[in-house]
Structure 1
Amino acid sequence: MATTLPYRDINVHASASHYAFTSPSSPTAPTLVVERPSGDLRLNDGSLLGAKRVSSIAGILGIIRLRLDKYIIVITKAQPMGRLKGHMVYRVVATEFLPLRERPLHDPDEDTYLDLLKSLLRNGPMYFSYSYDITNSFQRQAQSDAAVPLWKRADDRFFWNKFIQSDLIDLRNGGSHTGGGRLQGREQPGVDSYILPVMFGMLRITATKLKSTPFTFALITRRSRHRAGTRYFSRGMDELGHVSNYNETEQIVILNDRSSDFGGFSAGQGMANGDLGSSAGREAQVLSYVQTRGSVPVYWAEVNTLRYTPKLQIRGVETAIAAARRHFDEQIQIYGDNYLVNLVNQKGREQQVKEAYEQMIRVLVSSSNEETKRDPLTEEKFHTLDAKKKSKEIDRLHYVYFDFHSETKGLRWHRAQLLLDEMSDALQAQQYFRGVDMPGDPNGTLEVRNLQRSVVRTNCMDCLDRTNVVQSMLALWTLNRMLADLGILEHGEAASDDPAFALLFRNVWADNADVVSRSYSGTGALKTDFTRTGKRTRAGMVQDLSNSITRYFRNNFADGPRQDGFDLFLGAYLPSATSVGSSYLFVDRRPIMIQAVPYVLGASVFFIFVAVFTRRLPESTIWPLRIMMCSFMALSAWCFRFIVNNGMLYVNWPKLNTPTYAMEGYQEAIASASKDKIIGQWVGKHERGASTSRLSYLEEGKKRIE
């Protein structure tokens, strides 16, 4: 049975009453019609008259309802990124919003919603393929039914545009978006080819060689759509067991695949004629290795107050047990045994996170067995924790703590290899996926020769910098094993012995670190000089300092709108059409005096610079200038002190799903500011005695639990 794949080419026809989508390469395919302005969907046999062709698109990203209107988001430009077993993978480069109203209504909130979505789509790295399930690893693909439509095979965690595809999915399943209910309850298989799954993350595909043996090297990182967000506004775990910054990274080696360049068409092309898609008649082989990363699965948060180090909050472990069990049950079901590598510091503020994680594992597994290894450098070099006897599925958790900070400080990054030595037995048993082409299979199905039996789940505080260093080391260790099993490397040889390939490998993993970090923290990753060069450098430390400063400003003053963009696109917030035009959501409702303080500070600093750098006339009197400078210096010092002491009032919080701790902190900061001897009386009057009167925009966001 032939696989139902998304259309590679779609024409958009527009009229005052509808949008129509057709595929010129499939003239017998039904036309997808979106009625205007209702948004009802239906399929039509043949083309519709009266509509004018306005553009050709690469695919339909989805349909989203905002405050005043529905919008069809279409992919207008896609960049080819390379081929995996002949399947071309594309990156979303440009999108367009098609409003359903012929004459769009304007509203400040509607315009802000559109700006948030456009910013997310412009900056977010999104990828798709018309014939390859980019959301699933090769191992999961080999175990799935290739005859099922592509969107139904997609991994729900990484089907990034699933929420905005819900109208099309409802139409396909005979739901409520079927032209006023005329076809409700009747499935519409013709919609399958209009549903295009998109992945958010990182992808690199490179043709390379080692010891004169050519192969394709690829790295794919898939970011989960559940609990997606920014660094300080999305931490820990939610009630459903979804953790923040969860990413699955798959390292792929494809041997004897001559269709990996840009000239092929799709997997299976030519296979029916006896061509295996291989080099010199040899079978094509795919080897892949999967790792995961994700925030510590307890309830915790870091509260921005404009301090460089945010305030850490951890709720009791007991309250998070049910959610943590859901999280690990899913992980074990998908990957098998989980080796939980924890890299947070064992001292200082991070110690609380470490202890909460270990307490959680003790509760979950049966009669935990613990072992601590010490050396002269640290009292807890390694700390392992697992079940003494496996009596239930969750006993397949194996906790490994590594004191990454103590072991690698002083630029001794080579000591991170100690973790590989500690985990050598587990890595040997873990294996990796290996499959070969099945001759004559039109779907390019792989015959499984070996399966990966477990996964390493790595975390630090952010799951960015330390995590990527360790993941790249594990990936290189496994890659050496893969290439040795293929006969490319001899016993004792390493892929890093080849300077050209070592440079490629390090840079691909450093690029991965930067992409994951930008999506979460707003800047490139730290410590990438070690990943790129294999050693820590002074220049890398300077770059890390620059990134850390940039992170501070972005996390405090720019991540609120970014978080709103994630929540809006992923359906964590549903815009309301009530009170249109009367209660704007994004208006700054802080007291005027609170808003004015940063401007007064800026003006004071400006006048001080003018006084310092402006030339004086010889006969001019100096004491008025000194009085002015002293006055502005005193004023700027007071403004700076006020902002620092009331930092909660100046963080750019998310407006849609504002965290509870932000609302509580706002109330406390307003109460504190109202007691200020200089402006307190105006803050109090402005609030008219009600501490919550300025929180209306904080309370409008209603979180949707799917």
Structure 2
Amino acid sequence: MATLPFRDINVHASTSHYAFTSPSSPSAQTLVIDRPSGDVRLNDGALLGGKRVSSIAGILGMIKLRLDRYIIVITKAQPMGRLKGHMIYKVIATEFLPLRERPLHDQDEDVYLALLKNFIKSGPMYFSYSFDITNKFQQQAQLDLSQPLWKRADDRFFWNRFVQSDLIDFRSSGSRHQPGQQPGVDPYILPVMFGMLEIVNTTIKTTPLTLALITRRSRHRAGTRYFSRGIDDDGNVSNFNETEQIVVLNDSLNGMGGFAGGGGMQNGKVGGSGGKEAQILSYVQTRGSVPVYWAEVNTLHYTPKLQIRGVEPAVKAASLHFAEQIRLYGDQILVNLVKHKGREQRVKEAYEQMVRLLVSSPAIGGTQRDQRSDEKFHTMEPHSPSGESDRLHYVYFDFHNETKGLQWQRTQLLLDKLHDALDKQGYFRGVDMPASFEGRLEVRNQQTSVVRTNCMDCLDRTNVVQSMLARLALNRQLTDLGVLSRGETFTSDNDFELLFRKIWADNADVVSKSYSGTGALKTDFTRTGQRTKAGALQDLQNSITRYAKNNFTDGPKQDSFDLFLGAYLPNTSSHMVFADRRPLLIQSIPYILAFSIFFVFVGTFSRRLPDAAVLPLRIFIIFWVLVGAWCFRFIMGNGMLYVNWPKLNPRPWATEGYHEAISNVRKDEVIGQFVARHERGLSASRYTNAEEGKKRIE
């Protein structure tokens, strides 16, 4: 029987160690983490002398910062609903347990801790004690259910894999005093998923069912909108998400409850199913950034500078990416939604060039035109499926041009184009095996391909198309189950239709917020089926908020991603990592701008005495208007000096652009002579951590 994570853990603290025990499993070994070394060991029986601190929901992991190690424990978890009888929880609150008593505060250490705490607080993380939420159902049906839960987890979506590495390493090889494998630590390793999860018990045409939507965000190349684009050398693309829409018939409504619930597995036939076998149907889609080397460089202008940094050099990386995608999902239906004109045209052409290089014998499917668009569709298919890369099927659809003027019904053109491929790909269907105590599924049908959708951000346009594909799949599933008659759609059930729209709009907002900082655009169409003026105004507000966040707050947010996921390893020798080393004069210009606005405001609206001279006041106002105008022009003309860049892993284009901007400032007629040639250690200190940032946990 599989070893499952403990539902209830007590923490005992002393000056020499932290001890973790499960009161519901008194015979289990105690996990001990020594202070201040951080050494992990197992103890038979409870340790005496420790003071019980609290009860926790689980151990998120351990992380080493500049001066100390910290154990991150989950102190509060919210039940989100049951899926096939298993309760799913959301991480609500965590606590950091330091291994050392630190009498003095270190500025860098405090910033590291603040970054991690804000990241965990804002990131939607989910877990289950008895159900693997990191794997889609089709994959779960093929796994060895006797393995511990953490070993079955999909490495891409095992979000706390890095911070669990101390426990995992101890599990695999032990320590100097406890050599060999240590299976006793398995119940303390809790895999956590980052993304979106919503479970609803509902009915459609009097048929009860459970509708769930799970979006799993990959931990590889994770980050924020403008600081994480394209592909890396290992084949990981930015903003990769797997979205699984799940329908469960005859689901269990009873089963395991809170942290102190029973430890046994229960399958979908237990409780509330009336003796009928539980049926699970799922449909999977993916999204991910265009797999070439490209970037968008923030300059404080609304539209960043686009850089295509290489297509042919990225062929090896793209080949690795699609080889993994084909292995995991089957044939890849690549739906590209970027514009075919303007600045996005270069991204479209780079993607198509990459597909041509990957597909052995591309047969251009031709370009279809109509009166609305110069290029509506563009497809590429191989002549004959002779190799792995020939399982790529590229379809281009100019989403913006086709739907302009609120003509959203024209997205049906894309669905018509994909009809045959969608019909062929199918969906997953499984039922509970009658005698399976572990809840193993008997596979009746499998999904043989996946639609990989992208736009520039893989957010707004992608969300709309994915919800439409999910609608098609759900109608097909309900028809095959006999819940709907042939030719009927679930739009005939108004309540279910509204529920479906709400879930997909919620998914769009969650995915968008974690990447861009705001909810998604165009969700009025997802929620109501119509594009409205109110929705357009909401999109305008979100766009303005995105501009502010992407330029001024996403740098620290990217640092928090890199820190939690192990893309940056703090070094005890690195000090003042977060210090601002720009010349003081450059730092002061925004403050001078603020003062000038204040003085103009005061001079304009202050009451004057009747006999006061007017001319000096006018000169005063004109002077500060000119000063403010110059400051604003300087800031916008040298925007790269004022973007809040990531400091832990400086981006190459940021480093290049920064030095170019500093060089231009030195030539400025007004302040160039006052900018020091050696900018407060910039050349030596600011980017020494760039090399540290390249460190990865292999």
TM-score by length of 2: 0.97
Q: Distance in 2 between the 1:449 and 1:364 partners?
A: 33
Structure 1 residues 439-448 or 282-291, which shifts more? 439-448
Q: Distance in 2 between the 1:473 and 1:325 partners?
A: 29
State the shift of 1:496 in Å: 1.9
CA contact (8 A) 1:671 1:691 kept: no
Counterpart among 479, 485, 494 of residue 490 in structure 1: 485
Counterpart among 225, 243, 262 of residue 249 in structure 1: 243
Partner of residue 676, structure 2? 684
1:534 aligns to 2:526 (yes or no): no
Counterpart among 288, 296, 309 of residue 302 in structure 1: 296
State the shift of 1:299 in Å: 0.3
Cα deviation code 1:575-608 (max 9, x no counterpart): 00115xxx31111110000000000000100111
State the shift of 1:269 in Å: 5.9
SS in 2 for 1:619: coil
CA contact (8 A) 1:663 1:698 kept: no
State the shift of 1:692 in Å: 2.7
Structure 1 residues 305-314 or 257-266, which shifts more? 257-266
SS in 2 for 1:684: coil
Partner of residue 192, structure 1? 186
- Structure 1 letter corresponding to 2:442: E
State the shift of 1:701 in Å: 4.2
Partner of residue 69, structure 1? 68
Partner of residue 138, structure 1? 137
Partner of residue 380, structure 2? 385
SS in 1 for 2:253: helix
Partner of residue 121, structure 2? 122
CA root-mean-square deviation: 1.7
SS in 2 for 1:423: helix
Partner of residue 91, structure 2? 92
SS in 1 for 2:647: coil
Q: Distance in 2 between the 1:210 and 1:391 partners?
A: 44
Partner of residue 340, structure 1? 334
Q: Structure 2: any 5+ residue segments left out of the alignment?
A: none
- Say if 1:307 and 1:261 are closer, same or farther in 2 by CA, change over 3 A: farther
**What are the residue-to-residue correspondences of 1:25-104 with 2, within 5 Å?**
25-103=24-102
Partner of residue 702, structure 1? 693
SS in 1 for 2:197: strand
- Say if 1:270 and 1:588 are closer, same or farther in 2 by CA, change over 3 A: closer
State the shift of 1:498 in Å: 1.4
Q: Structure 1: any 5+ residue segments left out of the alignment?
A: none
**What are the residue-to-residue correspondences of 1:507-522 with 2, within 5 Å?**
507-522=502-517
- Say if 1:703 and 1:545 are closer, same or farther in 2 by CA, change over 3 A: same
Partner of residue 359, structure 1? 353
Partner of residue 654, structure 1? 646
Q: Distance in 1 between the 2:36 and 2:684 partners?
A: 37
Q: Distance in 1 between the 2:663 and 2:285 partners?
A: 47
SS in 1 for 2:527: helix
- Say if 1:124 and 1:359 are closer, same or farther in 2 by CA, change over 3 A: same
CA contact (8 A) 1:66 1:110 kept: yes
Q: Distance in 1 between the 2:36 and 2:263 partners?
A: 41
- Say if 1:412 and 1:271 are closer, same or farther in 2 by CA, change over 3 A: closer
Q: Distance in 2 between the 1:260 and 1:553 partners?
A: 47
Q: Distance in 2 between the 1:101 and 1:338 partners?
A: 50
Cα deviation code 1:57-90 (max 9, x no counterpart): 0000000000000000000000000000010000
CA contact (8 A) 1:276 1:437 kept: no
Q: Distance in 1 between the 2:370 and 2:473 partners?
A: 28
State the shift of 1:280 in Å: 2.5
CA contact (8 A) 2:286 2:450 kept: yes
- Say if 1:397 and 1:268 are closer, same or farther in 2 by CA, change over 3 A: farther
Counterpart among 562, 581, 585 of residue 589 in structure 1: 581
Partner of residue 633, structure 1? 625
State the shift of 1:414 in Å: 1.2
- Structure 1 letter corresponding to 2:487: G
Q: Distance in 1 between the 2:23 and 2:238 partners?
A: 42
- Structure 1 letter corresponding to 2:672: G
1:221 aligns to 2:212 (yes or no): no
CA contact (8 A) 1:82 1:261 kept: no
Counterpart among 643, 653, 659 of residue 667 in structure 1: 659
State the shift of 1:183 in Å: 2.1
Q: Distance in 2 between the 1:211 and 1:84 partners?
A: 21
Partner of residue 107, structure 1? 106
- Say if 1:358 and 1:443 are closer, same or farther in 2 by CA, change over 3 A: same
Q: Distance in 2 between the 1:612 and 1:158 partners?
A: 57
Structure 1 residues 364-373 or 228-237, which shifts more? 364-373
Partner of residue 455, structure 2? 460
Cα deviation code 1:517-576 (max 9, x no counterpart): 010000110000000000100000000000000000100000000000000000000000
- Structure 1 letter corresponding to 2:142: Q
State the shift of 1:238 in Å: 0.2
Q: Distance in 2 between the 1:691 and 1:283 partners?
A: 66
**What are the residue-to-residue correspondences of 1:423-502 with 2, within 5 Å?**
423-502=418-497
Partner of residue 552, structure 2? 557
SS in 2 for 1:131: coil
Q: Distance in 1 between the 2:344 and 2:567 partners?
A: 29
CA contact (8 A) 1:247 1:293 kept: yes
- Structure 1 letter corresponding to 2:244: E
Q: Distance in 2 between the 1:560 and 1:263 partners?
A: 40
State the shift of 1:263 in Å: 6.5
State the shift of 1:698 in Å: 6.2
Partner of residue 548, structure 1? 543
SS in 1 for 2:212: strand
CA contact (8 A) 2:84 2:267 kept: no
- Say if 1:133 and 1:451 are closer, same or farther in 2 by CA, change over 3 A: same
Q: Distance in 2 between the 1:403 and 1:269 partners?
A: 48
Partner of residue 393, structure 2? 398
- Structure 2 letter corresponding to 1:150: L
Q: Distance in 2 between the 1:260 and 1:669 partners?
A: 63
State the shift of 1:699 in Å: 3.4
CA contact (8 A) 1:585 1:697 kept: no
**What are the residue-to-residue correspondences of 1:605-616 with 2, within 5 Å?**
605-616=597-608
CA contact (8 A) 2:73 2:94 kept: yes
SS in 2 for 1:133: coil
Q: Paired residues, what number?
A: 694
State the shift of 1:256 in Å: 1.1
Q: Distance in 1 between the 2:254 and 2:535 partners?
A: 34
SS in 1 for 2:209: strand
- Say if 1:215 and 1:506 are closer, same or farther in 2 by CA, change over 3 A: same
Structure 1 residues 618-627 or 327-336, which shifts more? 618-627
- Say if 1:171 and 1:698 are closer, same or farther in 2 by CA, change over 3 A: closer
- Structure 2 letter corresponding to 1:119: N
Q: Distance in 2 between the 1:653 and 1:316 partners?
A: 23
